[in-house]
Chain A
Amino acid sequence: MEKIKNPEQRWHDMGGFPAGQIDKAQHDFAIWEKRVDALLSLSTKKKLFTVDGLRRALEDMGADAFEKMTYYERWIAAINQNLIESGIYSIEELGNKMAEVKKRGETYGAAQEGKS
């Protein structure tokens, strides 16, 4: 990403940056992406955190994450950060859960078949 001249303008404030041709390729959303979207909608509906909280976490990830991670990868990272901050579960609980889920199988299809 190009150097930002105004020091108060952060990387995500992209309006006016030079940029190339717009890629119009479209993909259908995968079920895991739809689930991430649903986690955000339900979290804000139930006032567990706000869209501003999501935005703060996304913006703090920096330009590098924007380039390297997909849209919903960044979202689940930001949702997770907000939920941990809200005290609903701890990093340790997340770590244990991720280890447990990982043991179920090598693919998303296999790993998702938990008790949910």
Chain B
Amino acid sequence: MPHDHHDHDHLSPSGHPYRQDNDEPLTYWQLMEISVRELMIEKGKFSAPEINQQIDLMDSRSPADGATVVARAWMDPDFKKRLLENGASAAEELDFEIGPMHLVVVENTPKIHNLIVCTLCSCYPRNLLGLPPDWYKTKEYRSRAVKEPRTVLTEFGVSLPESTVVRVHDSTADMRYLVLPLRPESTAEMSEVELRKLVSRDSMIGTGVIQEI
């Protein structure tokens, strides 16, 4: 986006391609976004800095936040107990703002594997993982995760023994799920900070597992 000098243009470090919006012909929906935003500012409902702060807040959220919660749960059995009882209040202990929604943390064990989906739309624990990956919002994932989860997991490179129970959790606007992945046995000596780095986004959705190191 060479012709646009807005600060937020430099905020995507992950190396994925941008949608080429700023230099391409203005679309109808982009025109609507600019117009709605300016009307809301003119009507005094939002301020421009407030909108930028909201974008910064969302940009600041990433799977590293969820990983912090997971690593703490692995290290501290009492925290884990609180996390499984009430995900929102436990996450707030670590200064993550969850808000009024229910956050249900589901624990993977050697016998049970959990997978999260939102069949109705795209509900996701965005306060702990950031915005959902594109595939999470596709018709294909939403349709198939509840019907053939093992096949879906295989497509993500996860093959589970037949004896493992697979539980699929369907999210709603008011109830979001987070998977507490299984801690690899080989990490027994690792520190909490080291453990955080092992916890992938997909392991907290359930489309991934954390390999032994």
A binding-site residues for B, Cβ under 8 Å: 12-39, 41-42, 46, 48, 51-52, 55, 58, 66, 69-73, 76-77, 79-80, 83, 88-89, 93-94, 97-98, 101-102, 105-112, 114-116
Give, as a whole number of angstroms, the nearest-CB distance from B186 to chain A: 28
Partner of B140, one of A13, A19, A71, A110: A19
**Are A106 and B26 in contact (CB-based, < 8 A)?**
yes
Ordered by A's residue number, 29 sampled pairs between the chains whose C-beta atoms are within 8 Å are A12-B121, A13-B120, A14-B143, A15-B117, A16-B146, A18-B143, A19-B139, A22-B135, A23-B134, A26-B14, A29-B131, A35-B51, A35-B55, A39-B51, A46-B45, A46-B46, A71-B137, A73-B29, A80-B36, A94-B35, A94-B36, A94-B39, A97-B35, A98-B35, A101-B31, A108-B24, A109-B1, A111-B34, A116-B41
8 A Cβ contacts from B88-126 to A: 117, 119-122
Give, as a whole number of angstroms, the nearest-CB distance from B33 to chain A: 5
Which residues in A have their C-beta under 8 angstroms from that of B55?
31, 34-35, 37-38
Closest A residue to B174 using CB positions: A51
**Are B12 and A19 in contact (CB-based, < 8 A)?**
no
CA distance A30 to B20 in the complex (A): 8
**Are B50 and A107 in contact (CB-based, < 8 A)?**
no
B194 on the interface (CB 8 Å rule)? Answer: no
**Are B9 and A37 in contact (CB-based, < 8 A)?**
no
Most interface-central of A73, A93, A116 (chain B CB within 10 A): A116
CA distance A83 to B33 in the complex (A): 12
B212 on the interface (CB 8 Å rule)? Answer: no
B17 on the interface (CB 8 Å rule)? Answer: yes
Total contacting residues, chain B, CB less than 8 A: 66
Known: A42-B51, A51-B173. A29 touches B12 (CB 8 A): yes
B193 on the interface (CB 8 Å rule)? Answer: no
Give, as a whole number of angstroms, the nearest-CB distance from B105 to chain A: 21
Which residues in B have their C-beta under 8 angstroms from that of A114?
34, 38
**Are A71 and B122 in contact (CB-based, < 8 A)?**
yes
**Are B36 and A39 in contact (CB-based, < 8 A)?**
yes
Which residues in B have their C-beta under 8 angstroms from that of A69?
29
Partner of B36, one of A14, A15, A79: A79
**Are B140 and A22 in contact (CB-based, < 8 A)?**
yes
**Are A15 and B170 in contact (CB-based, < 8 A)?**
yes
Partner of B121, one of A18, A30, A55: A55
CA distance A91 to B54 in the complex (A): 26
